[in-house]
Structure 1
Amino acid sequence: MEEVLKLKKATYHLWTFTSSKLISSFGAQVYAFAVSFYILQLTGSATSFAVNLICNLLPRTLVAPFAGYVADNYSRKAIVIMAQIASTLAIGGLLAVSLISGLSLVAIYTTTVVLAIASSFSGIAFSSSITGLVDEKRIQKAMSLNQMSISFAAIGSPALGGLLYGTVSMPVFLVMYMAASIIGVILESTMNFKLFAKRKEVVDGEAKESVIQSMKAGLSYLKLQPVLMTIIWISLFINFLFGSFQVGYSFILIEKLKIEPQHFGLTEGAFAVGMLLLSIYLSMRKEVKYPLLVSKRGILIFGILIASIGLPLILPMQYGVMFAYYAIVMFGFGTTLIIVNTPMQVMMQKMIDDDYKGRVFSIIETMAMALMPLGVVIFGFLYDIFPAQWILIISSLLLIGVVLVLARPSVVRKAHPELGGAEELKAKAI
């Protein structure tokens, strides 16, 4: 009877978690859309806009190790709720400033920093809690629904933000975000983060590790997990080489091919639709049997897609054909990203001990957050010097080479010892 009740509670968690993520993601992205437009209209300066991006990225990178330590040593539910309350208060403070003295860049930057720190604590605590909220058989469903809610927000929030911006005042945007944040707090407070958790019991009077000791313990734990280290290294290379796509896609379509802004927006929408459809599919199907093998194949496709972005520079196309081509490529990017990410995330959720999840996820976030801006800066510099199509082709070959080496058949078999017969031959063939 108790097991049935736990499974019912886990089902409640699935939908509460998804609803909370959808509402808060919608609020955050509509707010980000409005603030971006506001800064550009207020200053007309790309530098002011870039400073706001730095105020989001830098604090997340700096506090992630501490957030991991806190997630592994304190109540994850309390961390998530406190982070959400901090976000609500930050937006409330910005609202008060806007009503009393009008918005200023300093107030916006300060709010962005607070929101970034809160997001880092909340994100790492939530990621560390998935296996405590739902039963093992539905981890893939939980990860897919989480991605689905983010994709819904990615598709709908620019449309909603564009519809509202100019027709309502900035305080209305802030009130909407506050309302979304408060609903998130209410939903999260009804969840039992320890339902399926397997965390070590805290002994009264036992001295807690320092942050440095805790991070060292996390790194030592990772060194003992070679398959996990492989997944992390692959993820980091993807994050870095993804910069060739992030910079190159906009540069090629807008600067080189002179595509219309509305058509450019539609191709980016195809990316979000691809993510959404694959997330829905994975949430309904049974769990992927060999996640590392599936992710490996997905990355190989990803590499081919990166190279394909430069094809219209080599083989000129009519405008309509070119637009359709990029819409299909971006849809492919969206679906492939989910094929790569979701099985890997499920595998990590199952492999990492509950007591180390916060630290491991914080290490991944710190390194990824550091590599992404670095990749964007380096590729931005390269696109100004070398032909775009060759940068994409070389990045594609590097990505394919990295995954063939790091996820070679012997590593895949180590991750999935049950591979045998025909499946093993398939692994060798890639």
Structure 2
Amino acid sequence: MSTVDVGAGWRRNAALFVTGQTVSLFGSMIVQYVVMWYVTLQTRSAIAVALYAVAAFLPQGVVSIFGGTFADRVNRKALIIAADTSTALATLGLAFLMMNGVTDLWVILVACAVRSVGAGFQQPTVQAVIPQLVPQEHLLRINGLFQTIQSGLALLAPAVAGAVFGAFGIVPAFFIDVVTALLGVGVLLLVTVPTLDAVAGRTTGFREDLVEGARFIQHHAFIRWLMVLFAVIIVLTGSPSFVTPLLITQEWGGEVWLLTALEIAFSVGMLLGGVAVSTLLAKRSRIRLIVLSSFGFGVFSLGLGLAPELWVFYALMFLFGAMIPIFSAPFMTLLQEAVPPEMQGRVFSYVTIVMALSFPLGMVAFGPIADALGVRALLVGTGVLALVVTGVAVLVPSGRSAMRAAAASTPPAEVAAQVEAEVDAG
């Protein structure tokens, strides 16, 4: 695999990049919470929440097809700045509309869709930039640290969102997002991002690049296995988690503080999980962490559907949140280690597509099920399915080879080649 010379000042660059992106993400998190709560409290309908999920994630998934390819063809720093700026402008426009009394659901959904387009360019590009800034031997630690910082902000974001939304309404939260986006862009301007030789000398067409990314995933058994497992876990546990605020509202009341407490429990779990990945688990097998957290998602989703008391529900959301960085940091690190730098934008675009499309498509199915059978039945059913699918994943040829590589303590950079060689040998 080709490598990138990150330079002697990589720590400064990485610190500035992580700082700028988490500041920008903080404002986006606040908007995500307040809009989700606003739709939940105003409609009390799983279908309306599903429509919000579609607007917030479907455009991102569609645009990510092009976003990652652009990330492999243009200056990645400039692409992130353009995406962040356009998202801030969409938020500012929605704020002015709602200040003037335009509060129709479809207007909010359109604004969410525009924001989602910006995220479709930004997210795969951010993941592709990190290996340009960080030496390979520090990738898991930096990814875990990035996840920990984001989790800390995720802990703060619902508290800030709840305080602002409860005291002043939804519009002030939009202005916070605009300010944090501008700050993120300002910090990013200070970061030096190396230009890849493959980008500077690219002669292939856009369509060829896009197809090449899909072929790369299809022809590499280990990458394909990771992507399929990721997609299934996101669909079966990510989408139903979007309706947990609805369950709180239906069974324990519609006060904002109850929804805030739910998000704080989830975010504390993410924070501690991120700390564990960047410290205690930094030397552990990436593959084992992914499989362990996949089983954890199924167990805790099932538990959420059966929780008899509110405090039990919060405790399970804490544990569910802890599984997020234990899954995502090793997953991203394995891809960064196994995929050549000049291909990473395209590959991470498909990661973003999976993540973005699985939420709205899952909610299209799960929203009506939640309204018809109840949120609890949905959580139980998807938890059981997640356990079954994870069990199957470790039994298929790619999964068995990956587990053997983990048991043999195969160096991370060699895992993909070993799995693919074993699968090709039959």
TM-score category (smaller protein): 0.7 to 0.9
Q: Any unmatched runs of 5+ in structure 2?
A: 412-426
How many angstroms apart in 2 are the aligned matches of 1:80 and 1:305? Answer: 35
Match of 1:293 in 2: 288
1:364 aligns with 2:362: no
Residues 140 and 342, structure 1, Cα contact 8 Å, conserved in 2: yes
Instruction: Quote the offset at 1:71 in angstroms.
Output: 0.6
Letter of the structure 2 residue corresponding to residue 200 of structure 1: A
Distance of aligned partners of 1:226 and 1:30 in 2 relative to their CA distance in 1, 3 Å threshold: same
Residues 94 and 111, structure 2, Cα contact 8 Å, conserved in 1: yes
Match of 2:198 in 1: 200
Distance of aligned partners of 1:31 and 1:253 in 2 relative to their CA distance in 1, 3 Å threshold: closer
Instruction: Please show how residues 315-354 of structure 1 align to structure 2 within 5 Å.
Output: 322-354=309-341
Letter of the structure 1 residue corresponding to residue 65 of structure 2: P
% of aligned pairs identical?
Answer: 21
How many angstroms apart in 1 are the aligned matches of 2:266 and 2:197? Answer: 38
Instruction: Quote the offset at 1:265 in angstroms.
Output: 4.8
Letter of the structure 2 residue corresponding to residue 193 of structure 1: V
Q: What are the superposed Cα offsets for residues 4-46 of structure 1, whole Å, 9 maximum, x if unpaired?
A: 9934x322233323322332122122234444566678x7585
1:278 aligns with 2:278: no
Residues 63 and 117, structure 1, Cα contact 8 Å, conserved in 2: yes
How many angstroms apart in 2 are the aligned matches of 1:355 and 1:177? Answer: 32
How many angstroms apart in 2 are the aligned matches of 1:310 and 1:14? Answer: 40
Match of 1:209 in 2: 205
TM-score, structure 2 length as denominator?
0.80
Distance of aligned partners of 1:249 and 1:225 in 2 relative to their CA distance in 1, 3 Å threshold: same
How many angstroms apart in 2 are the aligned matches of 1:304 and 1:49? Answer: 24
Residues 236 and 367, structure 1, Cα contact 8 Å, conserved in 2: yes
1:398 aligns with 2:394: no
Residues 40 and 246, structure 2, Cα contact 8 Å, conserved in 1: no
Distance of aligned partners of 1:201 and 1:183 in 2 relative to their CA distance in 1, 3 Å threshold: closer
Letter of the structure 1 residue corresponding to residue 403 of structure 2: V
Instruction: Quote the offset at 1:155 in angstroms.
Output: 2.0
Residues 67 and 120, structure 1, Cα contact 8 Å, conserved in 2: yes
Q: Any unmatched runs of 5+ in structure 1?
A: 421-430
Letter of the structure 1 residue corresponding to residue 226 of structure 2: I
Match of 2:112 in 1: 112
How many angstroms apart in 2 are the aligned matches of 1:5 and 1:363? Answer: 25
How many angstroms apart in 1 are the aligned matches of 2:203 and 2:315? Answer: 56
Please provide the CA RMSD for this pair. Answer: 3.5
How many angstroms apart in 2 are the aligned matches of 1:354 and 1:240? Answer: 28
- How many aligned residue pairs are there? 401
Secondary structure class of the residue paired with 2:341:
coil
How many angstroms apart in 2 are the aligned matches of 1:14 and 1:360? Answer: 21
Distance of aligned partners of 1:243 and 1:78 in 2 relative to their CA distance in 1, 3 Å threshold: closer
Instruction: Quote the offset at 1:130 in angstroms.
Output: 0.7
1:157 aligns with 2:157: yes
Residues 87 and 118, structure 1, Cα contact 8 Å, conserved in 2: yes
Residues 263 and 323, structure 1, Cα contact 8 Å, conserved in 2: no
Instruction: Please show how residues 38-57 of structure 1 align to structure 2 within 5 Å.
Output: 51-57=51-57
Residues 143 and 342, structure 1, Cα contact 8 Å, conserved in 2: yes
1:70 aligns with 2:61: no
Match of 2:360 in 1: 373
Residues 237 and 386, structure 2, Cα contact 8 Å, conserved in 1: no
Secondary structure class of the residue paired with 1:6:
coil
Match of 1:428 in 2: none
Distance of aligned partners of 1:199 and 1:38 in 2 relative to their CA distance in 1, 3 Å threshold: same
Q: Which has the higher contact order (CA 8 A, sep 6+)?
A: 2
Match of 2:301 in 1: 306
How many angstroms apart in 2 are the aligned matches of 1:177 and 1:247? Answer: 21
Q: Which residue of 391, 404, 411 corresponds with 1:413?
A: 404
TM-score, structure 1 length as denominator?
0.80
